[in-house]
Amino acid sequence: MFSEKNVINAILNINYINNLAKKLTRFILASLIVMLAFISCEDASNILVTEKEAKTSNGRFELSLKIDPDIVYSNSSTKLITSIRRSVHKDSLGSNEPVMKVSMGAIGGTLDQHAEVYSYTYNGVIYYENEIVSVNIADSINAVWEGLAFFLPSLPLKDSGHISAVFDGMNLTLPIKLVATPE
């Protein structure tokens, strides 16, 4: 009834099926591990996003303050971009056009301005205001001005700092985490 050849073939088939099952099980487990690793690395709460931004508007202009990264080591700097967007055409403001300058400040460090700082002449002498930046913005709606600066932490290092911008009655501030450089 059962020949030796049939028994050997049956055993070989069982071994082959067992090996296939083991390989399939390993493949499925490896796939699950990769999927779990991928899912667990998803940044649902934007932990890895280091850019912070604040905006405000007064109906005439929109003021925006953006830093990247929001963590600064004692031996580094962080980029600060101040943006002003015109919400209405300049002609509709009439004589209510504000003085076109933005005041930018920092606590816990200094700002290295890379925008045209505000200057004025008094008794024939030109004075420059390092914390006040001239704003040149087109007259049309949605015209945008951007100013670039870098925040440099001061020593002794505090736990946190702040940067601020003031324009046309609007005030914005953003916190910056200050961290001692690892040694």
Span 152-167, pLDDT tens digits: 999 898 889 999 999 9
Q: Does residue 96 sit within a domain?
A: yes
Judgement on whether residues 36 and 81 belong to the same structural domain of the protein: no
Burial class (CB in 10 A: 0-12, 13-18, 19+), 176: buried
Is the pLDDT assigned to residue 107 strictly greater than 80?
yes
pLDDT of 133-146, one tens digit each? 888 888 899 999 99
Q: Does residue 18 sit in the same domain as residue 66?
A: no
Per-residue pLDDT, 54: 94
Q: Domains in the chain: how many in total?
A: 2
